[in-house]
Amino acid sequence: MKRQWSELVREKMAEKNLKQDDLAEALDKTQGAIGHWLTGKRKPNFDDVAKMLGVVGVERVMLNSDGLILLEDEVELAGKPKEGLIRVLGEAVMGADGEFEISEELMGFVRIYSSDKEAYCLRVKGNSMEPRILSGEFVVIEPNTEIYPGDEVFVRTNNGKNMIKVMDYCRDGEYRFSSINKAHDSFTLDYDEVNTVASVAAIVKRSRFISLEEIPETEFHSI
């Protein structure tokens, strides 16, 4: 039986006597963001949906792009999840202040699907975003995905600074960003100081990385 992921999360929260604050703490989000997701006012990315399901004790489900899910024991026959390859377009070498330099080169691919045709990955090097993002992991950046307050984002300023932050808000001619791991103070930037704000849609383990040498020539030319 298909049902909305949010319906299942609310059901499991009631069973376990969990509050929205409990999910917010586990996901390092605001209670308001969790509330908007559970009521359908905002749409979380798949990574955050998976984390919420994990917090309430649901380990294996089939999650469709329309937000409907099937529990594993309810699946009799279903197609394989969509597969894809996303380009790794550089390495983000982290600095102590949370900013990073990007070596912009095609390094390989991460085997994961994205509906954003312009999606790309960066490999993180350094520990300034731990424990949320570990050195050697990949962040999937989707330039065309809508962003909401509380989302993790890739930020590039007009003077060339690169950062991964949480977007707290976007209003009155300015953005406010906060640190992924609360290691740095929140700050604001005027709209005209910002070149790019793009959704960080997923954090991917290094085991999904495929070097250029590992891609069959026929598959490489079809990417």
- Amino acid 55: pLDDT: 86
Query: Are 96 and 120 spatial neighbours (Cβ–Cβ below 8 Å)?
Result: no
Q: Where are the domains of the chain?
A: 5-74, 85-214
Give the sign of the dihedral formed by CA 130, CA 162, CA 102, CA 86: positive
- Identical fold for domains 5-74 and 85-214, yes or no, is no
Q: Which range, of 1-5, 173-177, 191-195, averages the lowest pLDDT?
A: 1-5
Tokens 């984002």 belong to which residue? 153
- Amino acid 98: pLDDT: 66
Tokens 């962003």 belong to which residue? 147
CA 42 to chain centroid, in Å, comes to: 15
Yes or no: domain 85-214 corresponds to CATH 3.60.40.10: no
Task: Evaluate if residue 72 carries a pLDDT over 50.
Answer: no
Stretch 106-115: mean pLDDT: 88
Stretch 8-12: mean pLDDT: 87
Sheet holding 3-4: strands in order across? 3-4, 68-71, 61-63
Tokens 């691919």 belong to which residue? 109
- Cα–Cα distance, 111 to 216 (Å, whole number): 13
Task: Evaluate if residue 30 carries a pLDDT over 50.
Answer: yes
Stretch 18-22: mean pLDDT: 90
Indicate the Cα dihedral angle 44, 48, 50, 52, nearest 10°.
-100
The mean predicted confidence, pLDDT, of the chain is: 82
Of 115, 141, 122, residue with least CA distance to 197: 141
Stretch 176-190: mean pLDDT: 88
Stretch 183-208: mean pLDDT: 91
Question: In the chain, how many H helices and how many E strands?
Answer: 5, 13
User: pTM (2 decimals)?
Assistant: 0.60
**Residue 22: phi, psi to the nearest 5?**
-65, -45
Query: Are 81 and 49 spatial neighbours (Cβ–Cβ below 8 Å)?
Result: no
The model's confidence at residue 120, banded by pLDDT at 50, 70 and 90, is very high
- Amino acid 199: pLDDT: 94
- Classify domain 5-74 at the CATH superfamily level: lambda repressor-like DNA-binding domains (1.10.260.40)
* Better-scored residue on pLDDT, 207 or 102: 207
Query: Are 178 and 152 spatial neighbours (Cβ–Cβ below 8 Å)?
Result: no
- Cα–Cα distance, 154 to 142 (Å, whole number): 9
- Amino acid 218: pLDDT: 43
The DSSP 8-state label assigned to residue 120 in this structure reads: E
